[in-house]
Amino acid sequence: MSSIRILKNFLVIARHKSVVSASREIGLTPAAAGQQLQLLEQEIGIELFDRTKRSLTLNSYGRSLIEPIQEIIARYEALGSNLKANPSGTIVLGALVSTLMGAFGKTLNELKQNYSELEIKLMAGLSSNFLDQVIDGSLDAAIVTESPFSLPQNVQWTELYKEPMILIYPSTNKVNKSPGSGNNVLPFIRFVRDTWTGHLVDQTIKANKLTIQEGMELNSVEAIIELVRQGLGYSIVPQLANISWSKDRQLRIEDLPGKTIYRKVGLLERKKHMRQNVTQIIKQHFLLNATKKLKP
């Protein structure tokens, strides 16, 4: 029967959809990783992926094995853990890069310091992509913005913190009119529309009745901020916690003329999964911090 290591490597290959890409994380050659996958399929007696020359895609059989294999791995890693006070093993988290520059970055660092036996594998990406990966079990959980759509019944989202959406423009901007007034020569740099954050930007524009001159679309808050620093436009972005906005000489923040919209960041997970002990610690951490802030 296949070892725990081979089962773990199967999950990595499923997440990367490529033996070559997965082999870098696994620490094997592509040939060796491919042989392990073939061995697993031979023992089970069925192919788990639809194969093309460039990628692998889990078929229905492969998808049906994700959760049972995760449970096997979690139970193996939990052997003896009931005798320990702290969680151990591996949790695979998806996270928006911008959340690492926000409040979650600090939490991640504290988790590593407090639980030395816990291995955290972090995958960067977009909220909409993370939803599919959480559902199919490729990720244990993900730190994402609140979905503008209804979520499937088998997943849940718990708010951790929120950030106000702010209007930023380069400090070198010399126009008399404020960005968004309709008389600004700078183009608007927006987060791509078909993402959860993109929907939030549109909501902010409509709520504040802003007139904008469309410019570029990017899928990175960090890249947008840098382009604004360079004077290439202005934008609406979440006010990330770990950026010293007031000390940044290349950026200026302007209050929105009407309603303040907040980007809510939370933890997305299946309602039942084997790493709930860790996700519960993450949620309790933010709840404790929120309680501290409320105290006089």
Q: Where are the domains of the chain?
A: 1-74, 163-263
CATH, domain 1-74, list 1.10.10.10, 3.50.50.60, 3.40.50.300, 3.40.50.2030: 1.10.10.10
Q: Percent of the chain beyond pLDDT 90? A: 38
5-19, 27-41, 96-110: which has the minimum mean pLDDT? 96-110
**Torsions phi, psi for 130 (to 5 deg):** -65, -35
- CA-derived radius of gyration, the chain: 22
Q: How confident is the model at residue 218 (pLDDT cuts 50, 70, 90)?
A: very high
Highest mean pLDDT among 100-114, 140-154, 246-260, 282-296 belongs to: 140-154
Tell me the per-residue pLDDT of 52-103, one tens digit each, with 9 for 90 and over.
877 788 999 998 888 888 778 777 766 655 545 577 778 899 998 888 876 7
Whether 149 contacts 228, CB under 8 Å: no
**Torsions phi, psi for 72 (to 5 deg):** -60, -45
Q: How confident is the model at residue 181 (pLDDT cuts 50, 70, 90)?
A: low
* pLDDT at residue 295, as a whole number: 47
Whether 119 contacts 275, CB under 8 Å: no
Amino acid at 67: E
Strands 89-95, 141-145: pairing is parallel
* pLDDT at residue 176, as a whole number: 41
Tell me the per-residue pLDDT of 266-281, one tens digit each, with 9 for 90 and over.
999 998 887 888 899 9
Burial bucket for residue 31 (CB in 10 Å: 0-12, 13-18, 19+)? exposed
Residue 118 has pLDDT above 90, yes or no: no
Average pLDDT, the chain: 85
| Topology of domain 163-263, CATH | D-Maltodextrin-Binding Protein; domain 2 (3.40.190)
CA distance readout (Å), 200 to 56, 165, 266, 268, 294? 33, 9, 15, 18, 27
Q: How confident is the model at residue 129 (pLDDT cuts 50, 70, 90)?
A: confident
Reported pTM: 0.73
CA distance readout (Å), 98 to 16, 48, 225, 284? 22, 34, 11, 21
* pLDDT at residue 81, as a whole number: 53
